[in-house]
């Protein structure tokens, strides 16, 4: 497939692109600094700025089968990037008839009643931004979405094994998150699903296959 990755220079995105290339997909890597995108003959770097209007973005994100939204401002630009930037890309997907939309999000992004946990205090503004973006994707679009809610990211080596939803724990290796994102497109039962994940004990493909 031809896949557009929004936020291609992020930590998760770089690992995601590597996984997608291994699956023999063609990647359009959208980033503010396309010159920093990992060089590969199956990866086309393009410049994208989520501050741009929908018309501009719709001329960049076009003629692809899937959009991955893995952009994140790391709390520096939450409204323009993490919230409204995501909404604009969803609208582009509608305009350009790109039905498959995969969003990387935060654990409990749609459950504000759980944000009072002191361990999540530093993520409050991020979770608010993701709350509005994720709600819009689920309730205001007809896209074939999957929202992957990752718990805290770590730089530890990926194990290729995860836990999902009720069994999800506290932490995720970036490698496991990227591999799970890449595997989602191979499992139609992930469409219209919000999936919470962490490192765990079940092979990624098997965990996704178990989703009802």
* Per-residue pLDDT tens over the stretch 24-77: 999 999 999 999 998 899 999 999 999 999 999 999 999 999 999 999 888 889
Q: Which domain holds residue 194?
A: 2-209
Query: Residue holding tokens 């999800």?
Result: 168
Question: Are 177 and 153 spatial neighbours (Cβ–Cβ below 8 Å)?
Answer: yes
Q: Which two tokens stand for residue 170?
A: 């506290």
Q: Does the pLDDT of residue 22 top 80, yes or no?
A: yes
Query: Residue holding tokens 């893995």?
Result: 70
Residue 38 has a pLDDT of 87
Cα angle: 21, vertex 145, 35; to 5 degrees:
40
Say which DSSP state 192 is in.
Answer: T
Q: Which two tokens stand for residue 13?
A: 């995105």
Query: Residue holding tokens 């920093």?
Result: 36
Per the structure, how many domains does the chain have? 1
Query: At a CB cut-off of 8 Å and minimum separation 6, what does 28 contact?
Result: 2, 3, 4, 5, 44, 46, 61, 64
β-pairing verdict for 43-47 and 66-69 = unpaired
pTM of the model: 0.95
CATH number at residue 122: 3.40.50.720
pLDDT (tens digit per residue) in 131-188: 999 999 999 999 999 999 998 888 888 889 999 988 778 789 999 999 999 999 999 9
Query: Residue holding tokens 């770590």?
Result: 154
């Amino acid at each position: 497939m031809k896949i557009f990755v929004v936020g291609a220079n992020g930590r998760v995105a770089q690992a995601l692109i590597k996984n997608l290339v291994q699956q023999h997909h063609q990647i359009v890597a959208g980033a503010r600094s396309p010159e920093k995108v990992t060089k590969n003959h199956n990866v086309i770097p393009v410049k994208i700025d989520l501050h741009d209007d929908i018309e501009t973005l719709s001329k960049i994100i076009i003629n692809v089968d899937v959009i991955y939204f893995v952009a994140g401002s790391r709390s520096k630009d939450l409204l323009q990037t993490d919230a409204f930037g995501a909404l604009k890309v969803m609208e582009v997907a509608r305009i350009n008839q790109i039905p498959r939309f995969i969003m990387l999000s935060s654990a409990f992004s749609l459950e504000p009643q759980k944000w009072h946990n002191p361990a999540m205090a530093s993520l409050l503004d991020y979770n608010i931004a993701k709350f509005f973006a994720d709600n819009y994707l689920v309730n205001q679009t007809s896209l074939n979405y999957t929202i992957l809610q990752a718990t805290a990211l770590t730089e530890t080596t990926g194990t290729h094994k995860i836990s999902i939803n009720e069994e999800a724990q506290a932490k995720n290796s970036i490698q496991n998150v990227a591999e799970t994102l890449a595997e989602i497109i191979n499992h139609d039962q992930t469409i219209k699903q919000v999936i919470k994940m962490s490192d765990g004990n079940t092979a990624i493909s098997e965990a996704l296959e178990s989703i009802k």
